[in-house]
Amino acid sequence: MTEQAATTGAGAEPAATARGAQTRQLILDTALRMFKEHGYAATSMRAVAREAGVAVGNAYYYFPSKEHLILRFYDDVQAEHRAAAAPVLAGSTEFADRLAGVLHAGVDTNAPYHAFATSFFKVAADPDSPLSPFSAESAGARQASIALFAEALDGSTIKVDAQLREELPELMWLAYMGVILFWVHDRSPGQRKTYLLIDRAAPLLARLITMSRLPVLRPLIREALDLLRHLRHRT
């Protein structure tokens, strides 16, 4: 079992001594609890500090900004995601099952936070925010997540066009982002529509990927991949 998700390059948040680590954890836990209870926007740094029994300055000593509190939270969720996905990755070699399983696990780990996920989703939507899934600061968590999808692909028996296979883990991660986007907007009880989407779209994608080697589709796929490579890099 992999213990360590790659850490976000979020910058040093001091925790040299044991006492320091404890204080930092206290602040983080307090903040996340309050976020869950009252939402992100409605929870002020002053309130977090008061509730945790520390000075405001102390909170800022450990976390450069309010948003960085959530960044840490992302890391935790990502680590849980991998753990939650482990069973299905050990149990099936069917691509559709493995993909659906990892997506399921992703939504499951986020489920307890659906209520306040919306309140900080708008923060994550800002391209300039370190919270953006595309930002440099979240590169660590992103790479760890992509690696999880690579694992889902590699352990499957699906036959994939060689060029497509190279890009597929990142594309699967993109699909995951799409699922999260849907999930955030999903108002059905228990977000059951999101699960419906996963369970029915995964086999569809598996069939489409299998068909990627057909002569009719291959040139289309190749051109799409070429476009993707042009678009990927910044600037």
Could you give phi then psi for residue 220, rounded to 5 degrees? -65, -45
How near is the Cβ of 134 to its own copies at its closest, in Å?
A: 6
How far does Cα 10 stand from its chain's mean position?
16
Nearest residue (CB) to its own copies, 21 versus 125: 125
How near is the Cβ of 70 to DNA at its closest, in Å?
A: 11
CA dist list (Å): 74 to 113, 168, 220: 11, 23, 36
How near is the Cβ of 178 to its own copies at its closest, in Å?
A: 9
Q: Which stretch binds DNA (CB under 7 A): 9-17, 86-94, 188-196, 217-225?
A: 9-17
Helix orientation angle between 95-110 and 192-211, rounded to the nearest 10 degrees? 150
Q: Which stretch binds DNA (CB under 7 A): 20-28, 95-103, 168-176, 203-211?
A: 20-28
Nearest residue (CB) to its own copies, 19 versus 232: 232
How far does Cα 226 stand from its chain's mean position?
26
Q: What residue ranges bind its own copies (CB under 8 A)?
A: 118-119, 121-129, 132, 134, 182, 184-185, 187-189, 193, 196-197, 200-201, 204, 207-208, 211, 214, 216-217, 220, 223-224, 227, 230-231, 234-235
Told to check if 60 binds DNA by CB under 7 A, we report yes
Q: Which one of DNA, its own copies, none is in contact with 122 (Cβ closer than 5 to 8 A by kind)?
A: its own copies
Nearest residue (CB) to DNA, 47 versus 174: 47
Nearest residue (CB) to its own copies, 46 versus 200: 200
Torsion region of 12: left, alpha or beta (phi above 0 gives left; psi -120 to 50 gives alpha): beta
**Angle (CA) 118 120 125, round 5°:** 95
- Near DNA by CB under 7 A: residue from 2, 25, 65, 188: 65
Q: Which one of DNA, its own copies, none is in contact with 207 (Cβ closer than 5 to 8 A by kind)?
A: its own copies
Nearest residue (CB) to its own copies, 25 versus 118: 118
CA–CA dist 31, 53 (Å, integer): 12
User: Which structure tokens are listed for 6?
Assistant: 């790659």
Nearest residue (CB) to its own copies, 82 versus 142: 142
**Residue 159: how many CB atoms within 10 A of its CB?**
11
CA dist list (Å): 98 to 9, 41, 95, 209: 29, 36, 5, 14
